[in-house]
Amino acid sequence: MSAVSDRNDEHDELRKVVRAFLEHASPSSEVRRLAETDEGYDPEVWRRLADELGLVGLIVPERFGGAGAGAAELAVVMAEMGRTLLCAPYLSSAVLAPAALLESGDETACAEFLPDIADGSVIATLAVAEGNSDIRDLDAVWTTARADGDRHLLFGTKERVTDGYAAGLLLTVARTEKGLSLFAVDPEAVERRPLPALDPTRKLARVHFDRTPARLIGAEGAAEGAVARVLDLGAVALAAEQAGGAERCLELSVEYAKTREQFGRPIGAFQAIKHKCAELLYEVESAKAAAQDAARLWSAAAAASEQGLAASVARAYCSETYVHAAAETIQIHGGIGYTWEHDAHLYLRRAKSSALLLGSTSWHLERVAADIGLVPTA
Amino acid sequence: MASATVQDAGTSPARQAHWSVRLAEFLDAHAGRPPRDKTARLAWARAFHADLEEAHLAAPGWPAEAGGMGLDLGDQIAYHQQMTAARAPRHPCGLSFIVAPTLIRHGTPEQKERYLRPLLRADEFWCQGFSEPGAGSDLTSLTTRAERVGDAYVVNGQKLWTTMAHLADWMFALIRTGPAGPGGAGISYLLISMKSEGITVRPLKDISGGTHFSEVYFDDVRVPVGNLVGEEGGGWAIARTSLGHERATAFLSDEFRYRRVVSELHRLAKTSGAADDPVVRQDLARIEASVRVLASNSRRALDAVLEGRDPGPAASVNRLVRAEFDQRLHEVALRVVGPDAVLGQREPTAPEGGRWTYGYLMSRSSTIGAGTAEIQRNTIAEKVLGLPSWRKEA
Ligand SMILES: Cc1cc2nc3c(=O)[nH]c(=O)nc-3n(C[C@H](O)[C@H](O)[C@H](O)COP(=O)(O)OP(=O)(O)OC[C@H]3O[C@@H](n4cnc5c(N)ncnc54)[C@H](O)[C@@H]3O)c2cc1C
C-alpha cells in the first residue's frame, strides 16, 4: 500500500513540475503563434523539455539515455500537455517513435537512434496510415519495400503523419515479401508536405516515397504485432492527453459560468448551464480514471490482451468525453465561444482531431467487442 | 442450514482465527442454491444473515461496539469480494443500512442496544419515511407532524413511496415537530413501530405491476419520546449522516453486480446472434467500456480513501454515473434480446424469463429514487464545482 502512495506522491510532484513549466512555456499566445508555423513547435521549449525536465526521453530506457519511466508517468505528462494544448512533437518523438524502436527489438538501431531522440536533438516520428484508412487498419498499408543490396527502396504515400514535416528521422512500415516491416528513412530523401489541418496545434504531413532508400529495423515481416503494440501505447498516452484537455475545458466553463451574468445572475445559477457542468464533471472524472487505469496496466506489465483492451476502453471513452467537453465549452460561452479569439475552438479542434487519429472510436469499440467475444457469427 | 459447526466455532479458539478464514468456513457451510419460491427465498436469506451475525461475521465496516467487525477499508473490500464470489445472499433489507449508520453515530446506548442486532440479523426490517405527497425533492417542506403529549409524540399525516413498508417492522421517519425554517428547522428523526395503532399501509403498484412501495397514513400514532434520535428539531442534519455514508464501500457491491449483469448480457448476445448487428455490437462494446470505466472510477476513489486522501470529485459523481449506466445497460439489453423483448414476464417463452424487459422498466427508478438525477446535478455543480445556488434568494 505504501508503494502505491509513494507512486502517487511522485506523480503529484511530476504533475506540479510539468504544470508550472507549461504555464510559462505554453500560454495561449504561444499556442497560436506556433499553430501558424509549418514545424509547429518551439525549439527552445523542446530543448528545455529534454534537458531541464528530462521528459523527451521519459519512456526511453536508461541504457539508451532516457529516464526509463513507464506509461503511468507518461500519462501524467500527456495530461498536462493536453491541458495547455502544447505545440510540440511529443506524441511523435517521445512516444510513437521510441516505442517503435523498442518494440522492434533491434538493439543496434536502438543504440544508434534512441540517445539522440531522448536528448531531443533528433525529432522522430512514425508513419503508418495510408489513403483515407484508419491507422489501425494495417491491411490498408500498401507501401512496398524492395530489397536493394543491403538496404531497401520504398514506394508509396503515407498520410496524416504527425510531425512528419519537422521530423529528422522517419520510421515507417512497408510491405516486403515477408510481410509488414519497419524501416527508418532519412526525411531529407523524401517528398513531404505539411497538411492544412482541422487542428493546427498538432502538425500533420503527407510523405511520399519514390525509390526512397530505407533501412530495415528489426526482423523483416515482424512489424505487424509490434506496430499494433506501439499504437496501443500511443492510444494510452493520447487518452491521457484527451482527459487533460477535457479537464481544462471544464475549468474554463466553470470559471465563465461563475462570472458571466445575465438576467441579473451568474449564468451558472441556471440549471441548464449548471447541469451541463455537472455532467462534464462526471465524464471528465471518469475519463481521467480510465486513462490512469490503462496507464497503470501498461506500467504494471499486465498481460498484453488486458493492456490492449484497457487502451481501447480508455481511448473510446476519452475521445467522446473530450469532444463533448469542448463542444459544451463553446455552448456555455455563447457567442464569445464561437470566436477565433477565444480558445474554445482550439480545444474543439484538438478534441475532434485526436478522436480521429490513432484509431477511431468505432475501431476501438470493435476491438472491445472482439475482446469480449462478440464477433459476427457469419 | 448446516450452521452448527460455525456456531460452535464461536466458543472455541477458532474464534480467534483470521476473519477471512472464518468467513470462508462459514460460506462453505452455507453453500447452496437459493430456493425458487419467493417466500422461501426470503426466509433463506434471513436465516443466512442471522447465522452470519451469530458468527460475528456481519457488518465488516461497523465498529466492534456496534456489533460489527471493525475492519479497515482494505479488509472490507476483501470481505465484499469474498461474499460476492460465494454468491452469498444480499441482506434482504437494504434500507436497514441507511438507518444503521445514523443510529451508530447519533443513537442513545439504549437505541443501539435495542435495534442494531435485530437489524443485522434481518429479524426486523426497516423502511424509510421521508417523502410525502407534497415533499419529494424539496424534502424540508414536509408536513407530517408530531405533537408532544406526555412521554409520547402523536403523529398525523402521510408518507408516500415508502419502499418495503408492507414488510417492515420499523420506520425511520422525518416528522415535523416545529415550524419550518431555513436548514430544515423543525424536523425530527423518529423511529416508529409499523405495528403501532393508527398506521395504515396501502401498497401501491409500481411500474412493473409489482408491489415494492406503499402509502403510509398516520392517524394519532403514539411514538414514545425514547424513539427520538438526536435532538428534537435536529432531524434534518442527522438524516444527512446516511447520505455521506454512501461514499466508499457501498459502491462495491453495485460494481460486482454490474460486472455480473454485463457478462450475462454478453452471453445472451453471443447465443442470440445479436452481435451480428454492428450497431448492437458497438453498443455492447460501449457498455463494456462503461462498466470498466466505472470500476476505474471506484478504484481511484478507493485508493484515495485507503491512503487517507480525499477521494475528491470521483466519489461524488459515482452515484449519478451508476444511475445513468443502469438505464443505458437496459436499453441496450432490450436490443440484444430482440423482438421478443415485447413479451411480459408471465409469458413462458419470454427470453430469460423476461428479466431484461422487467429490468428495463425497473431501471427508470434509478434516476428518481434516492434523489433525482437533476437534484444530484444541482448538488455536484454547487458543492463540487462551486457554482452559485439555483435558488432565487441565494
Ligand atoms: C422506486 C422508488 C422507491 C422509493 N423509495 C422511497 C422510500 O423508501 N422512502 C422515501 O421516503 N422515498 C422513497 N422514494 C421517493 C423518492 O425519494 C422521490 O420520488 C424523489 O425524491 C423525487 O421526489 P418526487 O417524486 O416528489 O418528484 P419531484 O420532486 O416532484 O420531481 C419531479 C421532477 O422535477 C424535478 N425537480 C424537482 N426539483 C428540482 C430542482 N430544484 N431542480 C431541477 N429539477 C427539479 C425532478 O428532478 C423530477 O424530474 C422512492 C422513489 C422511487 C421511484
CA distance A15 to chain B (A): 17
Q: Is B73 on the interface with A (CB under 8 A)?
A: no
DSSP SS3 for B260: helix
What does the block give as the cell for B76? Answer: 472490507
Which pLDDT does position B5 carry in this prediction? 39
Residue A129 is which amino acid?
A
pLDDT below 70 — which residues of chain A? Answer: 1-5, 377-378
CA distance A333 to chain B (A): 15
Ligand 1 centroid distance, CA of B365 (Å)? 9
The CA dihedral of B35, B39, B41, B47, to the nearest 10 degrees, is -120
- Contact across the interface for A317 and B289, Cβ inside 8 Å: yes
User: Can you say how many angstroms the Cα of residue A290 is from the centroid of all Cα atoms in its chain?
Assistant: 16
- Contact across the interface for B299 and A290, Cβ inside 8 Å: no
Collect all residues of chain B within an 8 Å Cβ-Cβ radius of residue A270: 390
- Contact across the interface for A376 and B275, Cβ inside 8 Å: yes
Domains, chain A, ordered by start = 9-118 (1.10.540.10), 124-224 (2.40.110.10), 225-371 (1.20.140.10)
Which pLDDT does position B245 carry in this prediction? 46
Ligand 1 centroid distance, CA of B157 (Å)? 19
Query: Which residue of A251, A282, A293, A309 to mutate against B (max B Cβ within 10 Å)?
Result: A282
Chain A neighbours among B 132-191 (CB < 8 Å)? Answer: none
Index of the ligand 1 atom closest to the CA of residue B370 = 17
User: CB B39: neighbour CB atoms within 10 A?
Assistant: 8
Q: Is B259 on the interface with A (CB under 8 A)?
A: no
Q: How many helices (H) and strands (E) does chain B have?
A: 12, 8
Q: Is B273 on the interface with A (CB under 8 A)?
A: yes
Domain definitions of chain B by residue range: 2-92, 124-232, 250-393
Q: What is the CATH number of domain B124-232?
A: 2.40.110.10
**DSSP calls for B349-364:** TSGGGGHHHHHHHHHG
Q: Is B291 on the interface with A (CB under 8 A)?
A: no
- B288 vs B110: CA distance, rounded Å: 48
Question: Which of A285, A367, A369 minimises the CB distance to B313?
Answer: A285
State in words which class domain B250-393 has: mainly alpha
User: CB B130: neighbour CB atoms within 10 A?
Assistant: 21
CA distance B284 to chain A (A): 7
Ligand 1 centroid distance, CA of B369 (Å)? 6
- A77 vs A94: CA distance, rounded Å: 11
- A278 vs A30: CA distance, rounded Å: 31
Query: Are A141 and A223 a contacting pair, CB within 8 Å?
Result: no
- Contact across the interface for B281 and A369, Cβ inside 8 Å: yes
Find the helix or strand (DSSP H, E) in which A370 lies: helix A361-371
Judge whether B246 counts as a catalytic residue: yes
Establish whether domains B124-232 and B250-393 are of one fold: no
Which pLDDT does position B344 carry in this prediction? 83
- A43 vs B10: CA distance, rounded Å: 72
Query: Are B5 and B17 a contacting pair, CB within 8 Å?
Result: no
Which pLDDT does position A20 carry in this prediction? 98
- The binding-site residues of ligand 1, defined as CB within 6 angstroms of any ligand atom, are A 271; B 127-131, 136-137, 161-163, 213, 365, 368-372, 374-375, 378
Nearest CA to ligand 1 atom 16: B369
Nearest CA to ligand 1 atom 30: B136
Ligand 1 centroid distance, CA of B334 (Å)? 26
Ligand 1 centroid distance, CA of B239 (Å)? 16
Which pLDDT does position B121 carry in this prediction? 97
- B175 vs B216: CA distance, rounded Å: 13
Query: Which residue of A7, A277, A281 to mutate against B (max B Cβ within 10 Å)?
Result: A281
The CA dihedral of B66, B71, B76, B80, to the nearest 10 degrees, is -60
Which pLDDT does position B273 carry in this prediction? 85
Chain B neighbours among A 267-296 (CB < 8 Å)? Answer: 268-271, 273-275, 277-279, 281-282, 285-290, 292-293
Residue A203 is which amino acid?
K
Chain B neighbours among A 205-264 (CB < 8 Å)? Answer: 254, 257-258
User: CB A42: neighbour CB atoms within 10 A?
Assistant: 19
- B85 vs A51: CA distance, rounded Å: 51
- Contact across the interface for A310 and B384, Cβ inside 8 Å: no
Query: Are B228 and B190 a contacting pair, CB within 8 Å?
Result: yes
- Contact across the interface for A1 and B74, Cβ inside 8 Å: yes
CA distance A311 to chain B (A): 10
CA distance B176 to chain A (A): 30
Between helix A271-299 and helix B278-306 the angle, nearest 10°, is 80
Chain A neighbours among B 300-359 (CB < 8 Å)? Answer: 300, 303, 306-307, 309, 312-314, 317, 320-321
Q: What is the mean pLDDT of each run of 10 residues along chain B (394 residues)?
A: 39 66 96 91 96 96 93 86 90 92 94 97 97 93 97 98 96 97 94 98 91 96 98 92 55 78 93 88 94 87 77 75 91 91 88 92 89 90 91 63
Ligand 1 centroid distance, CA of B138 (Å)? 8
Question: Which of B295, B374, B387 minimises the CB distance to A254?
Answer: B387
Which pLDDT does position B2 carry in this prediction? 37
- How are beta strands A179-185 and A204-217 bridged, if at all? antiparallel
| Triad B306, B311, B315: Cα angle to 5° | 120
The catalytically annotated residue of B25, B246, B288, B352 is: B246
